[in-house]
C-alpha cells in the first residue's frame, strides 16, 4: 500500500500533534495553519467569532486589539513595552502564520496575557480565519 501525503496534510498533522520544533524549512501557509486548527477543533472556523474574541477584553485590562489594533492591518506598538509590532493580518504581514513553532509560541503567550489561559484550537481557528478575511 502506497501512502501519499500532501504538504498541507503534513503541516495540519504537525499542528494537530502540537509539533513545535519543525525546522524552518518546513514553513506553513496561513491556510495550512488554519486547516490544522480546524481539524483539531473538529468544527469549521467562524470569522465573526474570531473578530469578537480578538476585540473583547476577557475579564482583564487587555484584548488582542490592545496591542495589534482593532483591525490589525498596520504596524502597532505593544501596550506596555512600546515595542513595534508588525501587522498581524497575513495579507498585510506576509510572514505571519508561516511558522508552526512561532505561531504556537505567540498564541500561547498572548492568550495567557489576554484570557489567563491558553486558547483552544477552535479559538485559534476562529481568529486566524477572521485575520485571513482582511485583504489589502
Q: Where are the domains of the chain?
A: 7-133
Cell of residue 101, nine digits: 513553532
Instruction: Please tell me which residue, 14 or 66, carries the higher pLDDT value.
Output: 66
Q: What is the pLDDT of residue 79?
A: 82
- Rounded Cα gap, residues 13 and 53, in angstroms: 25
- Band the pLDDT of 77: cuts 50, 70, 90: confident
Mean of pLDDT values over 84-111: 94
- Rounded Cα gap, residues 117 and 115, in angstroms: 5
Looking at the DSSP assignment, which residues form a beta bridge with residue 84? 77
Which H/E stretch holds residue 38?
helix 30-41
Q: What is the pLDDT of residue 60?
A: 83
Per-chain mean pLDDT for the chain: 85
Q: Is the pLDDT of residue 15 over 60?
A: no
- Rounded Cα gap, residues 20 and 86, in angstroms: 22
Q: Is the pLDDT of residue 20 over 60?
A: no
Q: Is the pLDDT of residue 37 over 50?
A: yes
- Band the pLDDT of 95: cuts 50, 70, 90: very high
- Band the pLDDT of 81: cuts 50, 70, 90: confident
Q: Picking from 18-22, 110-114, 130-134, which range would have the lowest pLDDT averaged per residue?
A: 18-22
Count of residues in the chain: 136
CATH level 2 (architecture), domain 7-133: Orthogonal Bundle (1.10)
Amino acid at each position: 500500500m502506497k501512502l501519499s501525503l500532501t504538504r498541507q496534510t503534513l503541516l495540519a498533522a504537525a499542528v494537530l500533534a502540537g509539533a513545535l520544533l519543525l525546522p524552518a524549512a518546513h514553513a506553513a501557509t496561513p491556510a495550512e495553519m488554519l486547516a490544522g486548527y480546524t481539524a483539531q477543533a473538529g468544527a469549521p472556523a467562524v470569522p465573526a467569532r474570531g473578530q469578537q474574541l480578538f476585540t473583547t477584553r476577557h475579564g482583564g485590562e487587555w484584548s488582542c486589539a490592545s496591542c495589534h489594533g482593532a483591525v490589525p492591518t498596520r504596524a502597532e506598538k505593544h501596550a506596555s513595552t512600546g515595542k513595534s509590532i508588525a501587522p498581524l493580518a497575513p495579507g498585510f504581514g506576509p510572514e505571519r502564520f508561516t511558522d508552526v513553532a512561532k505561531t504556537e509560541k505567540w498564541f500561547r503567550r498572548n492568550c495567557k496575557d489576554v484570557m489567563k489561559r491558553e486558547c483552544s484550537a477552535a479559538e485559534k481557528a476562529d481568529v486566524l480565519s477572521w485575520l485571513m478575511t482582511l485583504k489589502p
